A and B are shown apart, each in its own frame.
Chain A
Amino acid sequence: MTKCKISEAQVIDYVIGALDVPSAAEYRHHLTTCNHCIRQVNVLKHVLQLVDTAEAEITPNAIVLTDLNSKLYRRLAEEPLQNASVQSRFTDFISRLGLILQLQKPAVVGLLAVVAITITLLVVNPFDNEPTFEVDQTESANARIEQYHHQGIQRSMEDVIRNKHLRQSDEWGTVSQLNRVKDQAKGTDWATLANKHLKGVSSKL
């Protein structure tokens, strides 16, 4: 048997799939006649398989990163950024609306539903006591955390309202969701609001 002239780098590239298609095909053909390369390929595959298994052991499928979001925002609140500009709500609304229109083309019905609810909410405005939270970069860290807390409650509240409109028949669902918001909002104006809605829904049951 003549000594194989294939370079070590080429064997590695073959094993890790870094060769282009023609080169890989050519090398596969070479493998039919070269025992030296067959052994080398098998050894490398085995090495990589061992390492893959060992590395997989330490990264469980269900990585639980507890609350990374709120940790990040807490951190951001603790170290306020200088000279940050705050977008007006109107601009924000327009850009969101623009994106929605862009995204929802295939789901015209869904979009119409969202728009209908939006208009209903704008006209009816069930949140006449809605607390407002202006972002101020000079606010203390605690105030910022409080703000995120309120935003969380607000999101939950909006969930309830939206679900209430979409699934009119499921009043039990709405009640339990409202109760959860009430818990979450304990000690804030939102709790009063949740209570008001709760009474409204409960009276229908």
Chain B
Amino acid sequence: MISCSILNESLANNMDKMIDDEMLVTQFKSGIQKAFDELMKRYERRIFSYLLRSVRNYEDAEELTLEVFFKAYRALGSWEPKAKFSTWLYTIASNLSIDYHRSKSRHPVFTFEDEDVIEKRLVATDISSNPEKQLEDKERGEIIRAAVDELSAKQKEVFMLTRYEGLQIKEVADTLGMAEGTVKIHLHRAIKKLQTLLQPLWENNEI
């Protein structure tokens, strides 16, 4: 048993470089718990960032991240790889995020700063009438994120997955259960809408 674990340590040290996700899944299925720890180590930050962008709240994002891995752990034994492991993980995260927003049934809450964010939201929509206003970087960031949250759920998902999670169109299609063409349409609309919403931020400056 001791020797098993020594081998196991040695195994873990080599996991980073040499084993791909799908091999780790196979290891996990054959009873090696550590393989799941390695998968978690590989993806916990990515899944957390993705959920943080989705729900805009640290505590909830952390809780949902745990939920993603809990569900993954429970389902992995019977999971048949039709797509990449990472895609499957994002599917779980995406579904949880949809449930989260459904249960909140309102706009994401900004807990990074203060409750006066709502006021800033109003400024964001009204900024064109105050073009002279110099925006602090912080405020600017909040306004921009508020614009991102104005996207439809699908537009935002597609935008986030391609832009920040590095997923290809095909992978996003697999993750969200959409046709590739549909993913592209959502992506184009998302970017177009961001352009329209954020126009007041730069229209006084020459680009």
Residues of A within 8 A of B (CB): 8-9, 12, 15-16, 18, 39, 42-44, 46-48, 50-55, 57-59, 63, 65, 68-69, 71-72, 75-76, 81, 87, 89, 91-93, 95-97, 99-100, 103-104, 110, 114, 117-118, 121-122, 127, 130, 154-155, 158-159, 161-162
Complex CA–CA separation, A114 to B8 (angstroms): 11
Report whether B32 and A92 are in contact in the complex, using a CB–CB cutoff of 8 Å. Answer: yes
Report whether A50 and B144 are in contact in the complex, using a CB–CB cutoff of 8 Å. Answer: yes
Q: Which of B32, B53, B169 contacts A18 (CB 8 A)?
A: B169
Report whether A72 and B8 are in contact in the complex, using a CB–CB cutoff of 8 Å. Answer: no
Tell me the nearest residue of chain B to A50, going by C-beta. Answer: B144
Contacts of A97 in B (CB 8 A): 7
Contacts of A87 in B (CB 8 A): 30-31
| Min C-beta distance of A174 to chain B, whole Å | 16
Chain B interface, DSSP helix/strand/loop, else mixed: helix
Judged by a CB distance under 8 angstroms, whether B3 is at the interface is yes
Contact with A along B5-35 (1 / 0, CB 8 A): 1111111001000110000000100111000
Question: Interface residues of B, CB < 8 Å — how many?
Answer: 57
Extra inter-chain contacts (16) besides given A100-B10, A159-B9, CB under 8 Å = A9-B184, A12-B187, A12-B192, A16-B163, A16-B187, A16-B191, A43-B202, A46-B202, A54-B140, A54-B145, A58-B52, A76-B70, A99-B32, A104-B10, A122-B3, A154-B2
The 7 A-B pairs of least Cβ separation, nearest first, read A87-B31, A54-B144, A118-B3, A54-B141, A59-B49, A93-B4, A57-B141
Q: A76-B73, A92-B4 are in contact. Are A48 and B11 (CB under 8 A)?
A: no
Q: In B66-118, which residues have CB < 8 Å from any A CB?
A: 66, 69-70, 73-74, 112
Contacts of B6 in A (CB 8 A): 114, 117-118, 121, 158, 161-162
Contacts of A91 in B (CB 8 A): 31
Q: Which of B5, B145, B184 contacts A158 (CB 8 A)?
A: B5
Judged by a CB distance under 8 angstroms, whether B128 is at the interface is no
Contacts of A117 in B (CB 8 A): 3, 6
Tell me the nearest residue of chain B to A165, going by C-beta. Answer: B6
Judged by a CB distance under 8 angstroms, whether B37 is at the interface is yes
Tell me the nearest residue of chain A to B70, going by C-beta. Answer: A75
| Min C-beta distance of B129 to chain A, whole Å | 20
Q: Which of A57, A63, A69, A103 contacts B45 (CB 8 A)?
A: A63
Contacts of A55 in B (CB 8 A): 53, 145, 148, 164
